[in-house]
Structure 1
Amino acid sequence: MTTNTPPTLVVLGSLNMDLLLRVPRAPAGGETLLGHSLSQTPGGKGGNQAVACARQGGHVRLLARIGRDAEGQALREALQRDGIDLAALQQDPQQPTGKALVMLEDSGQNRIVVLPGANAELAFDDEALAAPLQGADYLVTQLESPLPLVLQAVAAARRAGCKVLLNPSPMQPLPDDLWPQLDTLVLNEIEAADYAGMPVTTPEEALAAGRALLARGTGRVLITLGARGVVTVEREACVFQPALKVAVVDTTAAGDTFTGALVVALARGLGTPEAAARGVRAAALCVTRLGAQASIPTTEEVEALLPAAPAALNL
């Protein structure tokens, strides 16, 4: 049953200040290339997903860490403008705020190097984790935070009766007992191929990989295929949702935008294919704009784009 009540999402993840370097193309080894521009914009997978959830109408509590510096203060102010609950935001007395070096090519393709900074020191005891998870609908997390903390938070969410969505990026080995604790697993084709141990280049291959991951005990698996769309894999149904064709400006935060729109829709009671359709539309809007959080659309923008959606296909 769907509901109009704003869902509560707890997001555990990284906060980075992105240094966005626009270039015609990536330079070859040893080559010097003239760039177009250099700008600074809020980012980090935790921050991006928190903003995506908030702009889709979710009430968001963020668990993250910044440094005592100008970049950290700028990130805090940006998150406050989106109405995100920062009661659990930590400030590191020594480590600087995380940074990401984003090289954006004219084609829209990006290359990213992350310097974790304060993100690597993020830590909570069980009591501090239990408070924000109380009454929450979903815990949303990635792997830019320390893995022991992610595992601790997943266990705390299960104890609190809170569902868990994991976006395992950047990839790292995961313990076998984690998979059954996940209600929703969202990953791209590269991550799916690595975790499932098979190629993922087509919707049919994504379906096979999704079923292999589903067999580990996860509730549902969604594999994003970039400009092609997303495959949703559940025990009762498997669907391919094609993407909209748009003029790509910047793919930064597209996956995070998809995740935020998806989880808010799931928390409102929409079925997985319908929730994935919203995620695909949100990501399509995101890639037509420059920057990470600056490119994330609102729920009104996604609603306006939904009638243009191509039909989903059963696999």
Structure 2
Amino acid sequence: MKGGAVFIGDVAKDEYYAMDAYPALGTKADARQLPSMMGGSIANAASVYASYGCETRFLGHLNNRDRELTDYLRERCGIDTALTIYDDSLADSKCLIFLAEGEHTVFMVDTGENDLNLPEDTFEALCEAPLIYTSHWVLGRVRCGEISNVGVLRRLRERGVRVVMDIDVDIVNEARRPLMPYIDILFMNKVGFAAQRAGRGEAETIGELFGMGVGMVVVTLAENGCKIYLREGAISIPGIKVDVVDVTGAGDTFCGSFSLMYLRTGDPALAGTFANCAAALSVAALGARSGAVGAAPVLEFMRSRGVDTTPYEAALAG
């Protein structure tokens, strides 16, 4: 394998607004504008991953007006953005985030991206990566010339690349089923998992996902921690109580941290504990990149909560 992990997906400018209460449809409410920050779910996870001192690459699909976003990733986060594809037919990449009553509501601007056609040299770079972290949206539209999205995934599997997919609040529907045999880790949050269950039992739902070919399912449960589903059983990691400032990006912090620790150790319990602590630390500050603090603060936080950090220090040193 050559180079670092590749994160494929969105980077955006996050425009923040604070509200006393979120309004009902058809009403008006005052909002206080807060400083804008760089965001985008995949870029957030990439920033967290890079903050641990790991070689990290980002492949976005943006217009040239948004080069400030990739400049930020390169100059401030140490992420290699050379793989990014620019297309001026796309709209500006940004999100509107409203903070109210301890929660956040996010409006994501549709950039008009319908197709991600990888140049052959870019595809070859992906085939040499140890890990690819992306979303269901990307995998639904990626191709390389005449090679379909499933063909791209099949080639990656043949080359030994691990593929991680964050589906967030969405579900694995029939259209996404063909992708699942090539997904090593599927991340979902509690909202997405509840939608996936659709009233069915937990075991039935997980069995269905494994039947599609998914390697591992990790469900984040916010303040209640996470649950990791393996074919041989499940691992529950309890939540960590903290004073919450902003939960934006907490899931990205979790998933980026889990991906690194699992890649380094192959131990899902270690990865889950580390990611849980990293995410808990991130919600104590404002901004989607609040989790990109590096290893030292996370390890210190873990020690303050009575966690033996010896195996984590060894993994991060590698």
Q: Normalising to structure 1: TM-score of the pair?
A: 0.85
Residues 29/97 of structure 1: CA separation in 2 closer, same or farther (3 Å cut): closer
Q: How does 1:24-63 map to 2 (within 5 A)?
A: 24-63=20-59
The residue type equivalent to 1:48 in the other structure is N
Equivalence for 1:254: 250
Residues 96/175 of structure 1: CA separation in 2 closer, same or farther (3 Å cut): closer
Q: Alignment partner of 1:167: what SS?
A: strand
Equivalence for 1:202: none
Residues 11-49 of structure 1: CA distance to partner in whole angstroms, max 9, x if unpaired?
111111111111112112333222232332111112111
The residue type equivalent to 2:63 in the other structure is G
**Aligned residues of 1:17 and 1:98 also touching (Cα < 8 A):** yes
Residues 251-287 of structure 1: CA distance to partner in whole angstroms, max 9, x if unpaired?
1111111000000001112400110111111111111
**Aligned residues of 1:64 and 1:122 also touching (Cα < 8 A):** no
From 98, 115, 125, give the equivalent of 1:103: 98
Equivalence for 1:114: 108
1 CA distance for matches of 2:289 and 2:59? 17
**Aligned residues of 1:7 and 1:268 also touching (Cα < 8 A):** no
Equivalence for 2:269: 273
CA offset at residue 304 of structure 1?
1.1
Equivalence for 2:9: 13
Q: How does 1:184-203 map to 2 (within 5 A)?
A: 184-198=185-199
The residue type equivalent to 1:82 in the other structure is C
Q: Alignment partner of 1:39: what SS?
A: coil
CA offset at residue 125 of structure 1?
3.9
CA offset at residue 310 of structure 1?
7.4
Percent identity among equivalent residues?
A: 25
Equivalence for 1:3: none
Residues 120-140 of structure 1: CA distance to partner in whole angstroms, max 9, x if unpaired?
554314542222331x22111
CA offset at residue 209 of structure 1?
3.6
Residues 156/252 of structure 1: CA separation in 2 closer, same or farther (3 Å cut): farther
2 CA distance for matches of 1:210 and 1:275? 20
Equivalence for 2:170: 171
**Which shifted more, 31-40 or 156-165?**
31-40
CA offset at residue 306 of structure 1?
1.8
Equivalence for 2:130: 137
**Aligned residues of 2:278 and 2:291 also touching (Cα < 8 A):** no
Q: Normalising to structure 2: TM-score of the pair?
A: 0.84
**Aligned residues of 1:227 and 1:243 also touching (Cα < 8 A):** yes
The residue type equivalent to 1:265 in the other structure is M
Residues 194-241 of structure 1: CA distance to partner in whole angstroms, max 9, x if unpaired?
334446xxxxx6566434422332111111111111001112331110
Equivalence for 1:92: 87
Residues 196/213 of structure 1: CA separation in 2 closer, same or farther (3 Å cut): farther
RMSD (Å) for aligned C-alpha atoms: 2.5
Gaps of 5+ in 1: 1-5, 200-204
Q: Alignment partner of 2:105: what SS?
A: strand
Residues 146-167 of structure 1: CA distance to partner in whole angstroms, max 9, x if unpaired?
6121835533421321011111
Residues 162/91 of structure 1: CA separation in 2 closer, same or farther (3 Å cut): same
Residues 186/7 of structure 1: CA separation in 2 closer, same or farther (3 Å cut): farther
Residues 207/253 of structure 1: CA separation in 2 closer, same or farther (3 Å cut): farther
From 62, 70, 81, give the equivalent of 1:66: 62
1 CA distance for matches of 2:246 and 2:214? 31
Q: Alignment partner of 2:61: what SS?
A: strand
1:286 and 2:282 correspond: yes
**Aligned residues of 2:46 and 2:56 also touching (Cα < 8 A):** yes
Q: Alignment partner of 2:254: what SS?
A: helix
Equivalence for 1:237: 233
**Aligned residues of 1:207 and 1:231 also touching (Cα < 8 A):** no
Where relative contact order (Cα < 8 A, 6+ residues apart) is larger, the structure is 1
CA offset at residue 246 of structure 1?
0.6
**Aligned residues of 2:258 and 2:271 also touching (Cα < 8 A):** yes
2 CA distance for matches of 1:286 and 1:211? 32
2 CA distance for matches of 1:310 and 1:31? 47
**Which shifted more, 266-275 or 117-126?**
117-126
From 132, 135, 141, give the equivalent of 1:148: 141
Gaps of 5+ in 2: 144-148, 308-318
Q: Alignment partner of 1:86: what SS?
A: coil
